[in-house]
């Protein structure tokens, strides 16, 4: 491999990048990249592992370091394994298939340990990792694009918007994977050349639910073709949304798409939030259920369609609060049909968190916000008298920030359990339990 002479120590923002380097990789970063050092700068290398000596090509600056492509592993780590998927490296779905399972799980738990550590919490409060098996993803959004009359359908490439055409994927539940060839043929027929879009596919208990989001002039012939596809594939529902309109047009609704939480059937609105695997949902829900114990009444904040509200309602009255009108309507209708003790309120919890006075009546509060976390709500909780708070999170950094707010208000972290619902990726979920 040809190498250039080592670059001079760069100075100032216009400093030129070194092109090729040999590096020792010292750690794995939060996105799963190997991290080495060149002079005084961190170098991020996707595909490299701690303990390895590697040759890299520096591409660009990234934050306060350099981004580099792996050219060659000169001394491999004993934890290196052959990635099980042929798309690994190009596809953006996975970052760490080249790391052996035990080392991978240690790294993954470490993401929570590190984030919580930075906020002042001890590592021994972080429980062992709960690992969800690959092949169980019941919900995925595929990107597609039609170029030169060919339809490409799959996941976006790693750190890019190139599209990796998928014929296999180890993450997906088999019915999602089985749909792809027919879906590709359908979209090729109804989408115009040069059009891009995405399709959200959800496996419900009554069949697949699809929402296509793309520009298209669907004439009568296209609509018939789409309805026939729904019939042939035995879909529960097929809907279409034009980007930026927010309007969803149902094209075929053969059965209501139903998911069940603690036996309560909820009709999912198109593209409503649903935990990506049934196994992951059960693991999170069991941790929440056990943590809440016999406390009553309970508030379930950022409740979605009720994945925690309905199990909790088996033992306590639950007040479910959610910002999305369609999700909340689905939850409310399901609670009404089932006759369970769940009340529902639509509210933007970032702008209008439940106030300290409103929180006073609950013996336990569960919150499960999006990646941005729940800072406004955590601030109100910190001033409240609620004895038990359970935080569910898909982002260790914002969980740690919210946990710190609670701790400053006098809460004590009892346990934080990492749940790996996105195997081989850098995403991690967690359930943290606080008492006062
Ligand atoms: C991670 S999901 C959790 C949903 C549910 N707990 C579950 O497990 O299925 C986060 C939920 O928060 C809702 N959400 C996002 N921003 C919100 C806000 N500002 N106020 C209230 N709800 C919000 C989303 O619509 C979504 O349903």
- Measured at the alpha carbon of residue 15, what is the angle toward residues 14 and 19, in degrees to the nearest 5? 125
Catalytic residues: 394
What are the structural domains of the chain? Answer: 20-75 (2.40.50.140), 105-133+275-435 (3.40.50.150), 139-204+207-255 (2.40.50.1070)
Tell me how far apart the alpha carbons of residues 221 and 214 are, in angstroms, rounded to a whole number: 18
Q: Give residue 370 CA to ligand 1 midpoint distance, Å.
A: 6
One-letter-per-residue 3-state SS of 320-344? EEECCHHHHHHHHHHHHHHCCCEEE
One-letter-per-residue 3-state SS of 175-190? HHHHHHHHHHHHHHHH
Atom of ligand 1 nearest to the CA of 275: 9
Q: Give residue 278 CA to ligand 1 midpoint distance, Å.
A: 17
Per-residue pLDDT of the chain (436 residues; tens, 9 = 90+): 333 334 444 444 445 777 899 999 999 998 899 999 999 899 999 999 999 999 999 998 988 899 999 999 999 999 999 999 999 988 989 999 999 999 999 999 999 999 999 999 999 999 999 999 999 999 999 999 999 999 999 998 886 678 999 989 999 999 999 999 999 999 999 999 999 999 999 999 999 999 999 998 899 999 999 999 999 999 999 999 999 888 899 999 999 999 999 999 999 999 789 999 999 999 999 999 999 999 999 999 999 999 999 999 999 999 999 999 999 999 999 999 999 999 999 999 999 999 999 999 999 999 999 999 999 999 999 999 999 999 999 999 999 999 999 999 999 999 999 999 999 999 999 999 999 9
Tell me how far apart the alpha carbons of residues 188 and 46 are, in angstroms, rounded to a whole number: 33
- Which of 304, 348, 428 maximizes ligand 1 atoms within 8 Å of its Cβ, making it the mutation to test the pocket? 304
Q: Give residue 162 CA to ligand 1 midpoint distance, Å.
A: 30
- DSSP, res 92: T
Mode of pairing for the β-strands spanning 207-214 and 65-75: unpaired
Cα–Cα separations (whole angstroms), residue 388 to 225, 318, 350: 53, 14, 21
Tell me how far apart the alpha carbons of residues 73 and 68 are, in angstroms, rounded to a whole number: 13
Query: What is the SS3 assignment for 272?
Result: coil
Tell me how far apart the alpha carbons of residues 178 and 45 are, in angstroms, rounded to a whole number: 34
267 lines ligand 1 (CB under 6 A): no
364 lines ligand 1 (CB under 6 A): no
**Residue with the nearest Cα to atom 17 of ligand 1?**
323
183 lines ligand 1 (CB under 6 A): no
The structure tokens listed for 405 are 């707010």
Tell me how far apart the alpha carbons of residues 32 and 95 are, in angstroms, rounded to a whole number: 6
Helix (H) / strand (E) containing 108: helix 101-118
**Residue with the nearest Cα to atom 4 of ligand 1?**
304
395 lines ligand 1 (CB under 6 A): no
């Amino acid at each position: 491999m040809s190498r250039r002479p080592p670059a001079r120590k760069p100075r100032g923002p216009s400093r030129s990048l070194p092109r090729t380097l040999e590096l020792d990789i010292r750690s794995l970063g939060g996105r799963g990249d190997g991290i080495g050092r060149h002079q005084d700068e961190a170098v991020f290398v996707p595909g490299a592992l701690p303990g390895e000596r590697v040759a890299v090509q520096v591409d660009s600056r990234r934050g306060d370091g350099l981004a580099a492509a792996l050219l060659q592993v000169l001394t491999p780590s004993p934890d290196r394994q052959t990635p099980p998927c042929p798309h690994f490296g190009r596809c953006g779905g996975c970052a760490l298939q080249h790391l052996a399972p035990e080392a991978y799980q240690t790294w993954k738990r470490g993401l929570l340990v590190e984030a919580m550590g930075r906020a002042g919490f001890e590592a021994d409060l972080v429980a062992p990792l709960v690992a969800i098996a690959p092949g169980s993803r019941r919900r995925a959004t595929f990107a597609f694009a039609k170029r030169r009359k060919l339809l490409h359908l799959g996941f976006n490439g790693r750190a890019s918007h190139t599209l990796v055409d998928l014929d296999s994927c180890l993450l997906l539940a088999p019915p999602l994977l089985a749909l792809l060839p027919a879906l590709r043929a359908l979209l090729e027929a109804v989408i115009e050349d040069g059009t891009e879009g995405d399709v959200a596919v959800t496996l419900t208990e009554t069949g697949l639910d699809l929402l296509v989001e793309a520009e298209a002039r669907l004439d009568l012939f296209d609509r018939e073709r789409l309805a026939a596809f729904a019939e042939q594939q035995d879909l529960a529902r097929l809907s279409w949304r034009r980007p930026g309109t927010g309007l969803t047009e149902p094209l075929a609704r053969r059965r209501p798409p139903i998911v069940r939480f603690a036996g309560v059937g909820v009709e999912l609105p198109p593209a409503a939030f649903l935990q990506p695997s049934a196994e992951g949902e059960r693991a999170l829900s069991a941790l929440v259920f056990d943590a809440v114990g016999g406390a009553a009444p309970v508030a379930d904040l950022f409740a979605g369609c009720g994945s925690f509200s309905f199990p909790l309602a088996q033992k306590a009255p639950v007040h479910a609060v959610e910002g999305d009108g369609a999700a909340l309507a689905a939850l409310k209708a399901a609670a009404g049909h089932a006759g369970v003790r769940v009340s529902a309120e639509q509210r933007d919890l970032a702008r209008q968190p439940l106030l300290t006075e409103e929180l006073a009546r609950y013996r336990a509060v569960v919150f499960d916000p999006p990646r941005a976390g729940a800072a406004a709500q955590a601030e109100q909780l910190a001033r409240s008298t609620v004895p038990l708070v359970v935080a569910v999170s898909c982002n260790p950094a914002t969980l740690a920030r919210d946990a710190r707010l609670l701790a400053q208000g006098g809460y004590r972290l009892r346990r934080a359990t990492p749940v790996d619902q996105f195997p081989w990726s850098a995403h991690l979920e967690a359930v943290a339990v606080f008492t006062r």
